A = this chain, B = another copy of it.
Amino acid sequence: MHNSDINRLQLLSEDELQLRLTRLRDLMSSADIDALLISSNANIYYLTGRVFCGYIFIPLAGMPVYAVRRPSVLTGTNVEYIRKIEDLPLKLDCGFASLGVEMSSASYTTVCRIQKAFGNNISYVNASGILAETRSVKTDFEIEKIKVSGIKQTALYERIPHLYQPGMRDIDLQIEIERAARREGCLGQFRINGDDMELFMGNVLVGDNADSPSPYDFAMGGAGLDPSLPVGADGSLIRPGESIMVDVNGNFTGYMTDMTRCFSLRENLSDKALTAHQISIEICSTLAEMGHPGVEAKLLYEKAFSMAQDAGLENEFMGHRQHAGFVGHGLGIEINELPVIAPRSKSVLQAGNVIALEPKFVIPGVGAVGIENTYIVKADGPMECVTHAPRQIVYFE
């Protein structure tokens, strides 16, 4: 950020803002929403290029109003300072009949305060869906940020073999990966949609710890180091014959990429594990070829599952003791955006979707194998991969 920009509230260019607003307003019209009130950090960032504490009011036509609580120094057109939500109606032209609010993320009490502040004469609509839908199609500017994250995350993954020292436990390796990620420019923050999802910087799973079910709706689990955060590395020693699956934070630009790679000490994983890893690579390639605009997301899941099934690996697909119900997910500002690549997904792929595909297998006695890549859905041609580390298992010794 240039110093001259530091206090400018709106960091998006006018063209970029209009691209995003136009798409959002088309969906507002379809949903009969006259005006939107945005309060989540993720959507405030989407609509300004920065996080602030406050609200963005977006009428169907006309300029948005930026109602700021903190920081106290932001400037720009239509920037208004408020102390609390109840101050907001006085700052606005309230001639709208329906107000869209992020009801799926804002707390019950926050939504009730909004309803009380704006009164009973208008209707309130859950706008979380149209915001998710808008954000699921990335602009060129957003795709550029995602590509930069992909390049940096790739550089990080290529350093991983050099971070291993004999005698390391999973957590020891993870800590060195975390440090290398931060030194590469990783911002650390791992934005997840949904209150009950928690993860710190990502997941390093060694051996049978990959088969420990977790409470979270991630593709893989792990027992974790403490029951207050039961996911990921559990202190297992890294041993020959077991896999090391690395799936760590790709947030280098405010936009995330998601990449998973597997490592092992020596070339002595079981044939079943090696086969499963190869199938994962093939599923990614096949799905990338299939992933054109207009294709139903669920067809990608079905194809992935049938390829696992053909290999006799359906019981190990997306987990063994506990199975994840998806093989891919949209991502961007948050790690879990639309579309979801799942059996009952209603999504249809659109150009500009950014999707992580993670066909993974848990092989008892070996651990987790498979890869994950982040792809861009293109107007024509196959999906474009932006996470470029070598796909084969990399051996440390």
Interfacial residues of chain A within 173-219, with CB under 8 A of chain B in the complex: 175-176, 178-179, 182-183, 185, 187-189, 195-196, 198, 200-201, 212-217
Report which of B45, B69, B195 forms a contact with A228, defined as CB distance below 8 A: B45
A91 CB-CB contact with B under 8 Å: no
Given A39-B196, A196-B39, A229-B187 in contact, is the A321-B73 Cβ separation under 8 Å? Answer: yes
Q: State whether A196 touches B1 (Cβ < 8 A).
A: no
Q: State whether A221 touches B71 (Cβ < 8 A).
A: yes
Name the B residues within 8 Å of A175 (CB-CB). Answer: 179, 182-183
Q: State whether B51 touches A187 (Cβ < 8 A).
A: no
A254 CB-CB contact with B under 8 Å: yes
Tell me the minimal C-beta distance from A52 to chain B in angstroms: 5
Tell me the minimal C-beta distance from A305 to chain B in angstroms: 19
A53 CB-CB contact with B under 8 Å: yes
Name the B residues within 8 Å of A126 (CB-CB). Answer: 108-109
Name the B residues within 8 Å of A230 (CB-CB). Answer: 50-52, 71
Q: Please report the total number of A residues contacting B with Cβ < 8 Å.
A: 66
Name the B residues within 8 Å of A49 (CB-CB). Answer: 227
Q: State whether A229 touches B108 (Cβ < 8 A).
A: no
Interfacial residues of chain A within 1-49, with CB under 8 A of chain B in the complex: 1, 6, 11, 39-41, 45, 49
A225 CB-CB contact with B under 8 Å: yes
A-B interface, 8 closest residue pairs, ranked by CB to CB distance from nearest: A228-B254, A188-B200, A71-B213, A50-B227, A108-B111, A103-B108, A53-B215, A175-B182
Identify 29 residue pairs between A and B in the complex whose beta-carbon atoms are under 8 Å apart, listed by A's number: A1-B227, A39-B196, A41-B195, A41-B198, A49-B227, A50-B230, A51-B215, A52-B230, A53-B215, A53-B216, A69-B215, A70-B216, A71-B215, A71-B230, A72-B321, A73-B321, A101-B108, A107-B108, A109-B126, A175-B182, A175-B183, A178-B178, A179-B179, A187-B226, A189-B198, A189-B200, A228-B254, A228-B333, A229-B254
